[in-house]
Structure 1
């Protein structure tokens, strides 16, 4: 039995965690603003002590990659300062902290999948603030699992899948970057892994870092083509280069994460990204019908 605090519960991953659920013996507190402001250290102390929390799952994050270039302080406040608050309280109260990080901590210059031992070198504000959040956890001395993921999407919130579906329906033609490679991740699959980690609650080291995405790899262009194909929408998808689609934030050209460590540790089978996408599209279809 555990008393679990889930932050950022209204986001994509937090919503999927609520759907997946933990064990019947666990008491779970799903929070977001205004229930708990994790940038307020005293509020975190009060909540954890009052509810006798022993496990914190931090799904809260500033994820607007482009906007972060203009809102550096706000991004750092949520992705670094708030994480430091959680880690400090977790260390003092002997809680397990599970924190979600990103492939954007890497520079994207690799030619083989990044392992947990590769040194981060973020190339944009979002990636840097997430990396600083990781470092705050490591400095705190708390018991923690850092889960790096990538290209997260779900049937909830705003994400690439829903954007492509909308543009495909409205315009019948989209152009997407084809020279940035990574792996889409269905939030529902990541949620199941988090639940499994919480259930086992046994770490070999004070801080463990794992990589988790769905299996396989593709470009954003290939991802968009698969979304259109599986949805059955009549739409032409055109490839673009990064140079043809300039953005404020520099994006990794190659951001594939090696998942060997988490597969061995938790003996999990990870679904292919195409199959996971199909399940998400089905969930979206059922939501539209409902």
Structure 2
């Protein structure tokens, strides 16, 4: 199971701001902070245009911890709209990082496995060289660079294969399809770590409460599986009779290339004394009823 922060270690005097509070992760993070008794404000997309540097300076003033949970995440659309993706994922992030530094706030930025090329065979270390293969990955890698340049007191938290109860996600799609079809063909040549947004929200809180050193961390579940393996687990839990069979990525061509290997290592977490998220299968079993409700 995922470890939780020691209540005695919580600093409830720090004021938190969550940018992107209306998204799948942002919603769970706001709930986690409220449960911890932490003073937190959430901003949705309509509340703050992150590409407006002056607006960012005004919005972030007076906070001690700022979490950026917003991003341009339309991976395929980014291939033909890279400038728009860059405006949010790089320029907007630079604005937030600069404003957080000016406010004296710790800046937590959520990034992605797409900064890597997916060609590894062992878990990516936090300091592995980035080599994005998609427009989305390039803009997210640029956002990481901006954070390191503009906000010395930062935590870059890379995640992957996110699912949760407050937005569209892979498990919900597969559960719905399993109710409608007799056969599901799912790719078995992409490997990663399905990660519950509630677990990532908890990890972000634990990193901040631990006063983890500035740097890059990986916020994914432990273990690994393929989309095929994840789907089998999802469908088995629903009681649907659909058969799940493996297939390959070339049967489902997409505008943006997907990383074949998205397993991220957790050595930096352990070095900071912060427990990684538990095994993906155990965490899915804990999350399934809420996510699929």
TM range (shorter): over 0.9
Distance 1:10 1:170 in 2: 30
Gaps of 5+ in 2: 1-12
Distance 1:277 1:24 in 2: 23
Whether 1:61 and 2:71 are equivalent positions in the alignment is yes
Which residue of 115, 134, 147 maps to 2:144? 134
The answer for the alignment partner of 2:27 in structure 1 is: 15
- Structure-2 change in CA distance of 1:73 and 1:269 (3 Å): closer
Which residue of 246, 249, 252 maps to 2:256? 249
| Deviations, residues 155-205 of structure 1 (Å, cap 9, x unaligned) | 1201111111111112232211110111111111110011112223x343x
Deviation at 1:24, TM superposition (A): 5.8
Q: Which runs of 4+ in 1 moved over 6 A?
A: none
Distance 2:125 2:75 in 1: 23
Which residue of 124, 127, 139 maps to 1:117? 127
Counterpart of 2:251 in 1: which secondary structure? coil
Deviation at 1:270, TM superposition (A): 2.5
Which residue of 222, 225, 229 maps to 1:218? 225
The answer for the alignment partner of 2:275 in structure 1 is: 268
Distance 1:76 1:85 in 2: 12
Deviation at 1:23, TM superposition (A): 7.0
Which residue of 40, 51, 56 maps to 1:28? 40
Deviation at 1:82, TM superposition (A): 0.8
Gaps of 5+ in 1: none
Which residue of 182, 203, 206 maps to 1:193? 203
Deviation at 1:267, TM superposition (A): 3.5
| Deviations, residues 6-43 of structure 1 (Å, cap 9, x unaligned) | 01111111111122125766321111122222221111
Counterpart of 2:255 in 1: which secondary structure? coil
Deviation at 1:55, TM superposition (A): 1.1
The answer for the alignment partner of 1:150 in structure 2 is: 160
The worse-fitting range, judged by mean Cα deviation, of 170-179 and 156-165 is 170-179
Distance 1:267 1:41 in 2: 33
Which residue of 166, 169, 179 maps to 2:179? 169
The answer for the alignment partner of 1:40 in structure 2 is: 52
TM-score for both structures, normalised by structure 2: 0.91
| Deviations, residues 45-101 of structure 1 (Å, cap 9, x unaligned) | 11122xx11210110011111121122122111111110001111222221100000
Counterpart of 2:264 in 1: which secondary structure? coil
Distance 2:248 2:291 in 1: 30
Q: Is the 8 Å Cα contact of residues 214 and 270 (structure 1) preserved in structure 2?
A: yes
Counterpart of 2:76 in 1: which secondary structure? helix
Distance 1:53 1:38 in 2: 16
Whether 1:91 and 2:105 are equivalent positions in the alignment is no
TM-score for both structures, normalised by structure 1: 0.92
Count of matched residue positions in the alignment of Structure 1 and Structure 2:
281
Distance 1:90 1:270 in 2: 27
The answer for the alignment partner of 1:233 in structure 2 is: 240
Distance 2:277 2:257 in 1: 29
